[in-house]
Structure 1
Amino acid sequence: MYVRLFAASWLLLCACLAVLAWGFQAPFAYDPVGPRAYPLLLLTLMAAASLWLLCKPDLLEQRFNPQAAGRALLCVLTLLAYALLFEVLGFVIATALAAFVLGLLFTGRLLPCAISGLLMGVLLYSLFDLLLDVPLPLGLFEAFVES
């Protein structure tokens, strides 16, 4: 019963937020899609999940697993630290550290997690900066680039 109540309230909240997001306008065209596409996409996905929970709430009922809850909390804290350190450390270092920690949280081994985290930071920076021309913060590497 509580699952259906939560799903119905979340669906109503998604509808209200979609009405707000529909009015997003940019004063200039910096993006062909516009500023409303991303929030509307997320709200559509959340509304679809809410509808699914309204129809099949029994699939969500499980026993509380403290180990999984601890992992989920560490995952959220890692992503929060990533958001806070993104500009300070720069994209490459922050992404490498977040990927490393998340890999360890999902029972990865130390060396492969370190290598994949480093590769992910460097390759994603190359993709966004060089190919897609999206400026990303360099953080600690800014001193080396300006020299």
Structure 2
Amino acid sequence: MMSDRIFAGIWLLLCIAGLFVAWQITSEYSYEPVGPRPFPLGIISLMLVCAVALLLRHPDTISWPRRHVLQKLLAMVIVLLMYAWGFEWLGFPIATAILTVVIGMLFGATIPAAGISGAVLGILLWYAFDRLLDVTLPLGTLLG
């Protein structure tokens, strides 16, 4: 479709502009061996590759999704809004576990599989961010 190519062209131009902006990033003091520049350059470069791939691909025929797909998308948006609303008082592990369970169920997971993956994901992600990466995440009123 032409809209894909228009979007990809605009995205490509924004990525090129973003690369110029990211190249200008400097820090007054050296807190890492490579500085703050590589992460934005890497992310924007990946986006640029995706924009080029979108420009060069053969467009698919598009059909409107069925009603149940739109209902699932609406349910996912509502669940994500509830996640953002309850993130602090529920805490990261519980909120993430609930989010994972609901999204798993929307994608057809069984209740035990969604429950186990939600609990494991909530705990492991909290541990990875809070303990390994030193990103403080709320535990909520129940756990904290």
Q: Same fold (TM over 0.5)?
A: yes
Q: Deviations over 1:71-112 (max 9, x none)?
A: 344444444543444333221112111111111121111232
| Partner of residue 20, structure 2 | 19
| Partner of residue 63, structure 2 | 63
| Partner of residue 145, structure 1 | none
CA distance in 2, matches of 1:33, 1:86: 34
CA distance in 1, matches of 2:92, 2:31: 22
User: What count of residue pairs does the alignment treat as equivalent?
Assistant: 141
How far 1:132 sits from its partner (Å)? 4.1
Extract unaligned runs of 5+ from structure 1.
Answer: 143-147
Extract unaligned runs of 5+ from structure 2.
Answer: none
Most deviating of 43-52 and 23-32: 23-32
Alignment check: 8 A CA contact 1:4 1:57 kept? no
| Partner of residue 108, structure 1 | 109
CA distance in 2, matches of 1:80, 1:28: 39
**Residue identity opposite 2:65 in structure 1:** N
TM value normalised by structure 1: 0.74
CA distance in 2, matches of 1:65, 1:3: 17
